Amino acid sequence: MFKRKKNRFIETIVETLLRFSGGITTLTILLISIFLFTEGWGLFNSSTVEKGYILCVNKSNPVKNLTPTQIKEIFDGNITSWKQVGGSDIPIVPLRMDDVASMYTEEEIGTEFEHLPAKLSEAIEKEPGALGFFPEQFIDIKFMGRVLPAETITLKEYFTGKEWYPTATPASQFGLLPLLLGTLWVSLGAILLALPFGMAVAIYMAEIANNRVRKILKPVIELLAGIPSVVYGFFGLIVIVPLIRSLFNLPVGETALAGSIVLAIMALPTIITVAEDAMRTTPLAMKESSLALGATHWQTIYKVIIPYASSGIMAAIVLGIGRAIGETMAVLMVTGNAAVIPHTFTEPVRTIPATIAAELGEASVGSVQYQALFMLGAILFVLTLGISIWAEIIRKEPQSD
């Protein structure tokens, strides 16, 4: 009786500890998610113009505001007339601090820059087509120009923008589209490469290999999943990148194709293990019935075993996609890190995880770039969470009889 109570007491303690551990883990994940979205959402309350600076125009200029893309195009020289942005048909004259400083002598500006606010105001007043980009501290109440309102970054600009230049001045560009497409492009290529090889190995291990070969191959394949991603990245950089460069006669070998090949190698253990486990769950009676009816071994595999294990195979594919989408270091090393919209697999790309890894260390806490990177993390979290949920739904689907 005492022993039974003792065992029951121990079981209660273990159960309480497990519940506490599960609750802490769930709470931690929830808090991390809230932190990601809270930090990232601040991006849409941030000004498009660099912090501490203002954009200003002549008071006669009818233009009320400018988008980040328009500002960049103006200072890059691609938009040269105010008519192109809804104003009068006069040339745009971009003015920075250096431009104004070259217009006046040192004595006119003052040794302590005491006359600089007045000279900035004078430069804007004299030039009808001026677009000034000045430090806010030099704009006083006597300023004769008109300060453009600080536009905030919108959801549309972020999710449909085609350029990612977080350090561009005077207006940073935070377009998600090239990063999202780069991520999906590389991940799709990885799955297209990994799926046929993974399925071939899974079928061999589940139905063809004898027990001795299976006992050797299975631990080796599972061991591949434990190799650090940076090792795969080094392999890709030394072997795959030069091969692609010489094979396709490219100036550089760091391309989406290189990233897809490396990710395909990394996704193989997941696809092989999950698909092989699913095929080995096929009841022996179904296999024997197929063979008894005159089907060959190969006919039994693709007409009985694969259809029966289809939900498990789909889960393997989805988990492989999740592995590819979330990879960072290996992709960072072999894809070229060019934030452009890809059109072919032989072009450099940049993925969302690689962008976060490359830029977060350089972004100052609380800056617009910092918030944009956290929003990327939130988007990546949603993508991987959706893939994981899809995999679980597929896994729990009843298998065909």
pLDDT tens for 287-298 read 888 888 888 888
Amino acid present at 341: I
Is the domain of 139 the same as that of 196? no
Is the domain of 228 the same as that of 125? no
**Does residue 303 lie in a domain region?**
yes
**Can you tell me whether residue 86 is helix, strand or coil?**
coil
Residue that finishes a domain, picked among 27, 45, 63: 45
Q: Is the pLDDT of residue 93 over 80?
A: yes
Is the domain of 356 the same as that of 225? yes
Task: Indicate the pairing of strand 53-57 with strand 130-135.
Answer: antiparallel
Backbone angles phi, psi at 180, to 5 degrees: -65, -45
pLDDT tens for 130-155 read 999 999 888 888 888 899 887 788 88
Mean pLDDT score, 186-195:
90
**Does residue 158 lie in a domain region?**
no
Is the domain of 25 the same as that of 81? no
Q: Give, as one character, the DSSP assignment of residue 152.
A: B
Is the domain of 39 the same as that of 63? no
b/e 15-27 (16+ beta carbons within 10 angstroms → b): eeeeeeeeeeeee
Amino acid present at 345: F
- List the one residue out of 191, 175, 345 whose CA is nearest residue 265: 191
Number of domains in the chain: 3
Q: Is the pLDDT of residue 3 over 70?
A: no
**Does residue 166 lie in a domain region?**
no
Mean pLDDT score, 82-86:
91
**Does residue 139 lie in a domain region?**
yes
* C-beta of residue 168 within 8 angstroms of C-beta of residue 53: no
Is the domain of 335 the same as that of 366? yes
**Does residue 276 lie in a domain region?**
yes
Is the domain of 377 the same as that of 260? yes
Mean pLDDT score, 4-20:
79
- What pTM does this model have? 0.83
Q: What is the pLDDT of residue 156?
A: 86
Question: What CATH number has the domain bearing residue 111?
Answer: 3.40.190.10
Residue that finishes a domain, picked among 151, 186, 208: 151
Mean pLDDT score, 1-13:
73
Is the domain of 57 the same as that of 194? no
Tally of CB atoms within 10 A around 203: 20
**Does residue 129 lie in a domain region?**
yes
Peptide bond into 170 cis (omega under 30): yes
Is the domain of 320 the same as that of 226? yes
pLDDT tens for 260-277 read 999 999 989 989 988 888
Q: Is the pLDDT of residue 91 over 90?
A: yes
Q: In 149-286, where do the E strands start and end?
A: 164-165, 173-174
Is the domain of 40 the same as that of 58? no
Question: What CATH number has the domain bearing residue 186?
Answer: 1.10.3720.10
Boundaries of domain holding 77 = 53-151
Mean pLDDT score, 58-84:
89
The CA distance from 346 to 254, in Å, is: 8
Residue that finishes a domain, picked among 113, 133, 151: 151
CA dihedral 296, 302, 308, 312 (to 10 degrees): 140
Mean pLDDT score, 226-240:
90
Is the domain of 64 the same as that of 14? no
Band (pLDDT 50/70/90 cuts) for residue 400 is: very low
**Does residue 156 lie in a domain region?**
no
Band (pLDDT 50/70/90 cuts) for residue 376 is: very high
Is the domain of 218 the same as that of 351? yes
**Does residue 162 lie in a domain region?**
no
Band (pLDDT 50/70/90 cuts) for residue 351 is: very high
* C-beta of residue 203 within 8 angstroms of C-beta of residue 279: yes
